A and B are shown apart, each in its own frame.
Chain A
Amino acid sequence: MNSSLLSVLIFIPLIGTLLVLFVPSSQKVMYKYIALVVSLLQMIVVSVLYNNFDTQRIGNNTLESFQFVEKISWINLQLGELGELSIEYFVGVDGISISMVILSVFVVLIGVLSSWNVTEKGKGYFALFLLLNAAIIGCFVALDFFLFYLFFELMLLPMYFLIGIWGGKRREYASIKFFLYTLLGSIFILVVMIALYVSVELPNGAHTFNLLSMMDSNNYSLTSLLSIGANHTILGVSARNLAFLFLFIGFAIKIPVVPVHTWLPDAHVQAPTAISVILAGILLKIGGYGLIRIAYPIFPEAAIYYAWLVGFLGVVSIIYGAFNALSCTDLKKMIAYSSVSHMGFVLLGLASLTVEGVTGSIFQMFSHGIISSGLFLIAGVVYDRTGDRRIDNYSGLAHKMPKYTVVVVMLFFASLGLPGFSGFIAEVLVFLGAFKSEVLPEWMAISATFGLLLGAGYYLWTIQRMFFGKYFVRNTEKENNMVDLSKREFLMFIPLVFFALLLGVFPHFLLDILNTTVNSFIAFMSTTGIVK
Chain B
Amino acid sequence: MNSLETILPFSLLTQFSLVLLFMPFFSFLLLSFLPLKNRNGAFMSSFLLFVSFVIALFLFANSWNNPPDHSRWVWFEIGNGILFTSGIWLNNLTVLLLLLVTFVSFLVHLFSMEYMKGDKGYNRYFSYLGLFTFSMLGIVLSDNLLLMFVFWELVGFSSYLLIGFWFHKEAAAKASKKAFLVNRIGDLGFLIGLMILRSKYNTLDLETLTSVVETSDPSIYVAALCLFGGVVGKSAQFPLLVWLPDAMEGPTPVSALIHAATMVAAGVFLLARIVPFVPVEALHVMALIGAITAFMGGVAALRQFDIKKILAFSTISQLGYMVIGVGAGAYDAAIFHLITHAFFKACLFLSAGAIIHSLHQFSSKNDVNFDTQDIRLMGGLRKKMPFTFLVFLLSSMALMGMPLFSGFLSKEAILMASSTMNIGWQLVVPVLAFSSVLITAFYVTRMVVIIFFGEFRLPKVKVINTPNFASVSLIMKIPLGLLAIGSVFVLFSSNPFDGSHSWIIKGLSSHVAIHSAIVSYGSITLMLVGMGLAYAKFKPSGVYVQNLHKELDYQNKWQSLSFNNWHLNKIYDVVFIRQIINIANAVKTVEEKMIDRIINYFAIFNVILAKFIGLFDQYIVDGLVHLSAFVTSAIGWLSKNIQTGKVQTHIVWAGLGILMMILWFVV
Decide: B76 and A507 in contact? CB cutoff 8 A. yes
Is B603 on the interface with A (CB-CB < 8 A)? yes
Given the known interface contacts A418-B153, A450-B188, the answer about A435 and B168 at a Cβ–Cβ threshold of 8 Å is no
Is A113 on the interface with B (CB-CB < 8 A)? no
**Chain A residues in 8 Å Cβ range of B580:** 326, 454, 457
Which of A328, A359, A453 sits near B181, CB closer than 8 Å? A453
Give the docked Cα–Cα distance between A320 and B196 (Å): 25
Is B625 on the interface with A (CB-CB < 8 A)? no
Decide: B587 and A460 in contact? CB cutoff 8 A. no
**Chain B residues in 8 Å Cβ range of A468:** 164, 167-168, 170, 172-173
Decide: B581 and A326 in contact? CB cutoff 8 A. yes
Give the docked Cα–Cα distance between A405 and B195 (Å): 34
**Chain B residues in 8 Å Cβ range of A229:** none
Decide: A355 and B170 in contact? CB cutoff 8 A. no
**Chain A residues in 8 Å Cβ range of B153:** 418-419, 424
Give the docked Cα–Cα distance between A323 and B583 (Å): 7
Contact with B along A452-470 (1 / 0, CB 8 A): 1110110011011001111
- A363 CB to closest chain B CB (Å) equals 9
Give the docked Cα–Cα distance between A457 and B80 (Å): 37
Give the docked Cα–Cα distance between A111 and B170 (Å): 36
Is B584 on the interface with A (CB-CB < 8 A)? yes
Contact with A along B16-29 (1 / 0, CB 8 A): 00000000000000
- Residue of A327, A356, A454 ringed by the most chain B CB atoms within 10 A: A327
**Chain B residues in 8 Å Cβ range of A126:** none
Contact with A along B169-182 (1 / 0, CB 8 A): 11011101100110
Give the docked Cα–Cα distance between A464 and B194 (Å): 31
Is A180 on the interface with B (CB-CB < 8 A)? yes
- Residue of B153, B164, B188, B195 ringed by the most chain A CB atoms within 10 A: B195
**Chain A residues in 8 Å Cβ range of B164:** 468
- B270 CB to closest chain A CB (Å) equals 16
Which of B77, B167, B184, B581 sits near A515, CB closer than 8 Å? B77
Which of B154, B168, B185, B198 sits near A399, CB closer than 8 Å? B168
**Chain B residues in 8 Å Cβ range of A435:** 195-196, 198-199
Nearest B residue to A522 via CB reads B79
**Interface of chain B: mostly helix, strand, loop or mixed:** helix
Decide: B587 and A436 in contact? CB cutoff 8 A. no
Is B157 on the interface with A (CB-CB < 8 A)? yes
Decide: B80 and A519 in contact? CB cutoff 8 A. yes
Contact with B along A246-269 (1 / 0, CB 8 A): 000000000000010010000000
In B37-88, the 8 Å CB interface with A consists of: 76-80, 82
In B575-591, the 8 Å CB interface with A consists of: 580-581, 583-585, 587-588, 591
Is B191 on the interface with A (CB-CB < 8 A)? yes
Is B629 on the interface with A (CB-CB < 8 A)? no
Decide: A327 and B588 in contact? CB cutoff 8 A. yes
**Chain B residues in 8 Å Cβ range of A445:** 192, 195
Decide: A460 and B76 in contact? CB cutoff 8 A. no
Is B146 on the interface with A (CB-CB < 8 A)? yes
Q: How many residues of A contact B (CB 8 A)?
A: 56
Decide: A424 and B167 in contact? CB cutoff 8 A. no
Give the docked Cα–Cα distance between A355 and B199 (Å): 13
**Chain A residues in 8 Å Cβ range of B599:** 177, 181, 262
Give the docked Cα–Cα distance between A470 and B173 (Å): 11
**Chain A residues in 8 Å Cβ range of B169:** 469
- B452 CB to closest chain A CB (Å) equals 36
Give the docked Cα–Cα distance between A177 and B597 (Å): 13
Decide: B154 and A323 in contact? CB cutoff 8 A. no
Which of A355, A424, A436 sits near B78, CB closer than 8 Å? A355
Decide: B154 and A419 in contact? CB cutoff 8 A. yes
**Chain A residues in 8 Å Cβ range of B573:** none
**Chain B: interface residue count, which band?**
35 or more
- A521 CB to closest chain B CB (Å) equals 10
Decide: A323 and B584 in contact? CB cutoff 8 A. yes
Give the docked Cα–Cα distance between A356 and B76 (Å): 12
**Chain B residues in 8 Å Cβ range of A413:** 157
**Chain A residues in 8 Å Cβ range of B587:** 320, 323-324, 327
Decide: B168 and A469 in contact? CB cutoff 8 A. yes
Decide: A431 and B195 in contact? CB cutoff 8 A. yes
Which of A180, A419, A453 sits near B188, CB closer than 8 Å? A453
**Interface of chain A: mostly helix, strand, loop or mixed:** helix
Is B103 on the interface with A (CB-CB < 8 A)? no
**Chain A residues in 8 Å Cβ range of B585:** 327
Is B617 on the interface with A (CB-CB < 8 A)? no
Is A398 on the interface with B (CB-CB < 8 A)? yes
Decide: B185 and A453 in contact? CB cutoff 8 A. yes
Given the known interface contacts A420-B150, A460-B177, A469-B170, the answer about A515 and B195 at a Cβ–Cβ threshold of 8 Å is no
Is A485 on the interface with B (CB-CB < 8 A)? no
**Chain B residues in 8 Å Cβ range of A429:** 78
- A530 CB to closest chain B CB (Å) equals 18
**Chain B residues in 8 Å Cβ range of A168:** none
**Chain B residues in 8 Å Cβ range of A183:** none
Nearest A residue to B178 via CB reads A460
Nearest B residue to A455 via CB reads B184
Contact with B along A161-181 (1 / 0, CB 8 A): 000000000000000010011
- B487 CB to closest chain A CB (Å) equals 35
Which of A177, A453, A464, A508 sits near B77, CB closer than 8 Å? A508
**Chain A residues in 8 Å Cβ range of B199:** 432, 435-436
Give the docked Cα–Cα distance between A359 and B79 (Å): 8
Decide: A432 and B195 in contact? CB cutoff 8 A. yes
**Chain B residues in 8 Å Cβ range of A511:** 76-78
**Chain A residues in 8 Å Cβ range of B591:** 262, 324
Is A43 on the interface with B (CB-CB < 8 A)? no
- B142 CB to closest chain A CB (Å) equals 12
Is B595 on the interface with A (CB-CB < 8 A)? yes
Is A428 on the interface with B (CB-CB < 8 A)? yes
Is A318 on the interface with B (CB-CB < 8 A)? no
Which of B181, B198, B588, B596 sits near A262, CB closer than 8 Å? B596
Instruction: A460-B177, A460-B180, A468-B170 are known; give 7 further A-B pairs, CB within 8 A.
Output: A323-B583, A356-B82, A418-B157, A420-B154, A432-B198, A460-B181, A464-B174
- List the 5 shortest-distance A-B pairs measured between CB atoms, nearest first: A355-B79, A436-B199, A468-B173, A419-B150, A435-B195
A-B residue pairs in contact (CB < 8 Å), sample of 28: A177-B603, A262-B591, A323-B583, A323-B584, A323-B587, A324-B584, A326-B584, A355-B78, A356-B78, A359-B78, A359-B79, A419-B149, A425-B76, A428-B191, A428-B194, A436-B195, A449-B192, A452-B188, A453-B181, A456-B181, A464-B173, A464-B174, A468-B168, A468-B170, A468-B173, A469-B169, A508-B76, A515-B78
